[in-house]
Structure 1
Amino acid sequence: MSEGTELGRFLRARRAQIRPQDVGLPAGTGSRRTPGLRREELATLAGVSFDYYTRLERGRETRPSPAVVTALGEALHLSAEALNRLHELVALAAGQTPAPAPGPARTVREPVRALLETLRPSPAYVVSRANDLLAANRPGLRLFPGITEWPVERRNLTRYMFLHPMGRKLYRDWEKMAARSAAHLRAIAGADPDMPELAQLVGELVVKSPEFARLWERYDVEARGGGEKHFQHPEVGSMRLSFEVMAIFRTDGQRLVTYQAAPGTPDHDAMLLLDMASPKEAVFSEGTGR
């Protein structure tokens, strides 16, 4: 294996993000040629030899024990998702490749599309493993202004965030949301590193968006299961909505995303306006082209 392995890039990227003072080491004087921790510092923190860690980072050592991987994760302050990603990369380096995942399922079942409509006025939509927008109710589609200007096959929410003119304007805390979006794609890539549609999306974003390229190289990993988003929508103004992400049973990675706000609040009023402003059309679905 060469120094260009995914495992080596992950370790170098995460090592560069840890400052000596973050792990109780003296910062020293003068400038450091190496951003973050040096190899010898990380090796010491993880309890392995400098030579062993160097071989591991360069791809010359491919079978570290689970204890070593855990120690590296602790030294690098990895989250649970990032530690899982490290274990996956170690398995890949050892030649333990996962079974190929089935092709992308782009057809949303009729009962699920009907459910989207019953959730109104709450915005709701269905996305694929790679965040392609497969179906949405009226407020869910209107939540992303301008996305219908794109052909159906290009309606991807990560692509929208980084490449659509409205993507940066829609989110009040765009930098934070963008970082989490890139980290979420890293988590997806860990579960299925050979997914063609994900590789194509990442390749496009790396070329067209310097912000995405920078975030992608950080190798942050984060699974998304819910939280809060603050929108600045051009039609209804500010909305701070909570959201939940739920896997759809017996589909190839499809997820249902719903948004809510407490009744009687300005956020809920804005959400109602979003639904009222929606065009009188059928629920969007790739299967129908609507």
Structure 2
Amino acid sequence: MQKIAATIFLLLLLSSCIPENSSDYAEVKVGENYENFLRIGTADMQIPLPKGVWKLVGIHNYKNDVGTTFSVGLLADIQDGLLERSIVFEVPLGTTRTGYEKNERCERGTYQFTRNRFNVEGGIQDCWYVNHNLFRMNAQFEETDLKPDYMKQARRFFIANDVKTPTETVYVKYHKASSTKLMNVWYHFNPETKGFAGSSATSWGKSSWHRDQTKSDPTRSKYIQDLKNWGIRFEEFVTAGFAGKVGEKGQIPDMIELAKDLKGKKPSPEAKMELARLTEMHSEGHITSEEYGELVLYIIWKY
């Protein structure tokens, strides 16, 4: 399953290159509801949304150290005045040809769970992990404690609409990048909806959701395992969303049948271009020989 997911990510990555400095951005509005996916940033990326209605309650843009403009925001799933789930997204408003720095969080060993497939400086990056977070967007914290504007906007919305928010969340975070684009998405879950008491922790390390604490707590360990299983299942949607193909999820053919169908078929000119790029990735050690063989079939099939 892990190899298949990695192969699909590379396939979609190869087939989703977009022009440099693209100006075709999707616009979203605070207060609007969204379902299925949120289209924002460079035109072909989609933030996949789990089943339900999601309200955008905060968003703002910022520039990183090299001048790339990013959009970061928060979507909320509110049920009967309670914040059950939230999604934080971060995407660039444009593309680059220089790629992105390695994500050191993908290589940390302090989270509940980490799966790091690729973390190439300026190239392919693909990881996800399960972690916990102090939720500061409520009346317990002063607005001055919040630096990003989207968090301030969300806090104001929750207070103005009497939305009960958790003291902590447990989240599944996905990080995907190529040499031209990047997508970060955090899927936050409220443990209080499952009967867990609110936390009084004042720091990440002292939380009852820290992995050193959950190891000896069977109930919390099961909650974490359930989120890990959810993350494994949902990753294919995130992978498809990174390529702007959420609607095409599940349409990739079976490898064995594909090999039979393509026997003797010559690659098209477009396929030859993609195969040349694939061969370069393989020679540089970014993909294994097994992944290379599968991707060759996919590219010939696609074109």
Q: TM-score range by the shorter chain?
A: under 0.3
TM-score by length of 2: 0.23
Which of the two has greater helix per residue?
1
What is the TM-score of this pair, normalised by structure 1?
0.24
The structure number with the bigger radius of gyration is 1
User: As a proportion of its length, which structure holds more strand?
Assistant: 2
